Structure 1
Amino acid sequence: MHNDVLDLRSLAVPVIAAPMAGGPSTPELAAAATNAGGLGFLAAGYLTAETLAERIAAARALTSGPLGVNLFVPQASVAAHDAIHRYAATLEDEASRYHAKLGEPRYDDDHWAAKLEVVMDLRPDVVSFTFGLPDAEQCSRLRALGIATVATVTTLAEGEAAVARGVDVLAAQGPNAGGHRGTLDAAATPPTQPLDQLLRATTIRLGVPVIAAGGLMTAVDVADVLAYGAVAAQLGTAFLLADEAGSSPVHRAALQDPQFGETAVTRCFSGRYARGLRNRFIDEHDAAAPFGYPEIHYLTSPLRAAAVRAGDPHGVNVWAGTGFRKAKAAPVADIIASVA
């Protein structure tokens, strides 16, 4: 890694608070993770560029340490119009149930260019990428500004592609991760290779620092991935119940509700594979859900918002990794102390 960008091996505590788009990630959570000696991330997904800039400023006001920002890389749509139309028809009962209208299944690039300008202007210490890779020119521009680049990968081949683009660090995401899988091919079945095997392959073969992510919840989990060669452990689900997290009351309650015993990987909420608590919506709609991110995300968004307003965890994506039962309601500093 270049000397002028943050070396993740220099963190006092090798723990990263993962970016969790859609609510859980807050400036308070990111700053608290950094203040505890780790590295906090802001999630840019679904935000406007202006809101992202405001959140970076808010986090900066709460910490003098390093901060990361995660961007969703836009990809060509894999949606088929007729498949989405058929899926929408199967969701009419959900719309009636929650007194909501289905959303417009549109494609957008999540304000990619504008957010890239924001991070180049405000210069967080680290920028990570999910769903796709920055190009070589973007990597070199970020590095010239003193910004370390991290690519989320789920296979050795994806890691090789990322290193070829010039990223500084890889975030190797294993199959137990909560929320969206970082698989670069949006229409591929997410790999099931265990995290320890992915870590061994990427750390031995690729010659760049590797962050371990996916299902890490405890001090033993963190120690294990560090022993396998990771420079840091990235935890998301472990922070969903944190005092500083923006998780909705419905999300918090469901994570602690004994009726939810397992997670499932589904594309029924967003058109892209993601892991969350298995609930009624998944049971009823998973089989019919086509590919199509972000089109399906926008189609189901009003339903999910209405389910949250109704306090119903069975109509919304409750993203969580496989170890969700071990999540604790506590300040971020206490959670980091317990895993470090």
Structure 2
Amino acid sequence: MSTFLDLDLPVIAAPMAGGAGTPALVRAAAEAGGFGFLAAGYKQPQVLADELAAMKASGVPFGVNLFAPNPVPVDLAAFRRYAEVLAPEAERLGVRLDSTVAVEDDDHWHDKLDLLRANPVPVVSLTFGPASPADLAALRRSGALVVQSVTSVEEAKAAVGVDALAVQAAAAGGHSATFTPARPLATTPIADLVTAVRSATGLPVIAAGGLATAEDVAAVIRAGADAAMVGTVLLRSDEAGTSATHKAALADPARTETVLTHAFTGRPARALRSTFTDQYSEVAPYGYPALHHLTSGLRKAAAAAGDPERLHLWAGTGFRHATEEPAAAILTRLAGRL
């Protein structure tokens, strides 16, 4: 993998959908000798098209990450009950939740595939599940190396026809890449997971999840990873688009732990513990993307109001190592023990 990408630094900036990941962050990773993924998730196709054009004009190599269709249909009665439970939170922030429609879209999957066929990129990664054989073949014909995100040996074995695997441990911040969101995540340490997946598949491996120090990166490379992927440690970097509210929470000494919760989006994701995760993680139904759309307005309002208790404060277990400095300095330091 590192040889294919010709990386001076085998450290990759993870795709962070929702605003934290920016073209500037992807460029900074490449210019430092690493690599970065543009996050296509949640973006309108035209926004992605504009970012692709800007990245291609920059002349640096980059990849694109897609949310593969793997919906978790929500029970409509449970969805409406949850909307009613959240109504006071929304009202406090001046937002009205629409409990009448559970949006079950595919994040413009086919439009984004068409964009990538018309504007090929070196690497495309898939998160939440595998693509259909036909869609995978179309991506391969574009010349892209296809990387599948997996969270277990079983998922790795099911990822047929891809070129490499992004192996994600449960310590990762933000959404888990699991194919089965309602099933509890395994807590296998990332180095052990890398070794097991590499042994089972023989494919190149990118390690992700909780990697926050040079020692962490060196450990996964020793375990057989071709590169390490980091996200949380970049959330406070100069180039990240992380909201001011989120950045402040990451640096708040009063926040000492992360939790896995599906209360914000209906899929498991790791976030800083907050009032919202404490109150709603046990009562939220599974259902993605329906819950994502339900709470989206509430979360945007919380960010704008500087209210961290009702914001999805995505963070991996190494969040204490997130620093305010250029991304290149962070990535270079992470490769310091290689």
1:142 CA displacement? 2.1
Equivalent position amino acid for 2:306 in 1: G
> Structure 1 residue 298 and structure 2 residue 293: aligned?
yes
- Report what 2:28 is aligned to: 32
TM-score by length of 1: 0.95
How far is 1:277 from its partner? 0.5
The aligned length equals 333
Partner residue of 2:305? 310
Matched letter for residue 214 of structure 2: A
Distance 2:71 2:249 in 1: 34
Q: 2:69 matched to 1:74?
A: yes
Secondary structure of the equivalent of 1:184? coil
Distance (Å, rounded) in 2 between the aligned partners of 1:102 and 1:191: 33
Deviations, residues 2-24 of structure 1 (Å, cap 9, x unaligned): xxxx9546311101000000010
The answer to whether the 8 A contact 1:129-1:152 is kept is: yes
Contact 2:103 / 2:289 at 8 angstroms: preserved in 1?
A: yes
User: 3-state DSSP class of the match of 1:216?
Assistant: coil
Shift of 1:77: 3.4
Counterpart Cα distance in 2 of 1:254 and 1:226: 31
Q: What corresponds to 2:280 in structure 1? A: 285
For structure 1, which runs of at least 5 residues remain unmatched after alignment? none
Paired residue for 1:110?
107
**Conserved? CA contact 2:113–2:139, under 8 Å:** no
Cα offsets for 1:225-279 (capped at 9, x unmatched): 0000000000000110110110000111110011211110000000110000000
CA contact (8 A) 1:107 1:294 kept: yes
Secondary structure, aligned partner of 1:288: coil
Q: CA deviation at 1:99?
A: 1.4
Q: Where does residue 152 of structure 2 map in the other structure? A: 155
The answer to whether 1:247 aligns with 2:242 is: yes
Identity of aligned residues (%): 48
3-state SS of the aligned residue for 1:82? Answer: helix
Secondary structure of 1:287's aligned partner:
coil
Question: Is 1:127 equivalent to 2:124 in the alignment?
Answer: yes
The aligned residue for residue 20 of structure 1 is 16
Is 2:82 the partner of 1:91?
no
Please give the residue correspondences for 1:256-275 in structure 2 after superposition, counting only pairs within 5 Å.
Answer: 256-275=251-270
The DSSP-based 3-state class of the residue aligned with 2:147 is strand
Q: Give the CA deviation at 1:336.
A: 1.1
Match of 2:188 in 1: 193
TM-superposed CA distance for 1:76, in Å, is 3.8
Matched residue of 2:246: which SS?
helix
SS of equivalent to 1:334: helix
CA-CA distance at 1:309 after TM superposition: 1.3
Q: Which blocks of at least 5 consecutive residues in structure 2 are unaligned?
A: none
Pairs within 5 Å for 1:213-232:
213-232=208-227
Matched, 1:322 2:317: yes
Q: Deviations over 1:35-88 (max 9, x none)?
A: 1111111100100111111111222233x2310100001124331111111111
Once the two structures are superposed, residues 288-327 of structure 1 have per-residue CA deviations (whole angstroms, 9 ceiling, x without a partner) of: 1000011011111111111111101001101010000011
Distance 1:185 1:161 in 2: 13
1:205 aligned partner: 200
CA deviation after TM superposition for structure 1 residue 188, in Å: 1.7
Change (3 A) 1:317 1:8: farther
Separation in 2 of the partners of 1:7 and 1:121? 26
CA distance in 2 between partners of 1:210 and 1:152 (Å): 10
Report the counterpart of residue 39 of structure 2 in structure 1: 43
**How far apart, CA to CA, are the structure 1 residues paired with 2:57 and 2:6?**
22
CA contact (8 A) 1:8 1:232 kept: no
